[in-house]
Amino acid sequence: METPPPSTPRTEPTDADVEAFKQQLGRPPRGLRAIAHRCPCGQPDVVETAPRLPDGTPFPTLYYLTCPKASSAIGTLEANGVMKEMTERLATDPELAAAYRAAHEDYIKRRDAIEVLQGFPSAGGMPDRVKCLHVLVGHSLAAGPGVNPLGDEALAMLPEWWRKGACVTVAEPAGEGESE
């Protein structure tokens, strides 16, 4: 797979981004802080969420993958046993285990910079197992290559989900893009 190009640094969500999120997940965003990565099609595919939702509920998943095309492709990897194989490798490959622990520490550091969730794990099973490839891929896309080795591996296994076009189409708000 051709790895998606890195997106611009995290950005504040626009009204169009919020609308894309609603279409992608079928609900309004909760705890949305920023767009952490954009798909090559231009739509958000990873959002940064607050460690605590507006109602006070802890939400330890800092990077949330929103693109249904990418999510579906990741679900296929999960169904094919990739998580089990990765977890087994963590138990036998000390270098991989150390790099994955560093990814866990990076995730916690980024989340704690927003709000400390004392006693809550990072996400995706880090640092000892692989529980959710969606989280690991979201972390890789948001943080960039080399931060989460198993997220990078899963990302490299994915088809080019963006090649057939955007997962959603968001109309440009009235007045934007018009010249006078």
- What's the pLDDT tens digit per position in 88-123? 999 999 999 999 999 999 999 999 999 999 888 889
Confidence (pLDDT) at 180: 37
Confidence (pLDDT) at 178: 43
On the question of pLDDT at 6 being above 60, the answer is no
Q: Domain limits of the chain?
A: 18-157
On the question of pLDDT at 82 being above 90, the answer is yes
For 10, other C-beta atoms within 10 Å of its C-beta total 16
Of 140, 152, 167, the closest CA to residue 62 belongs to 140
Instruction: Please give the model's pTM, rounded to 2 decimal places.
Output: 0.88
On the question of pLDDT at 35 being above 50, the answer is yes
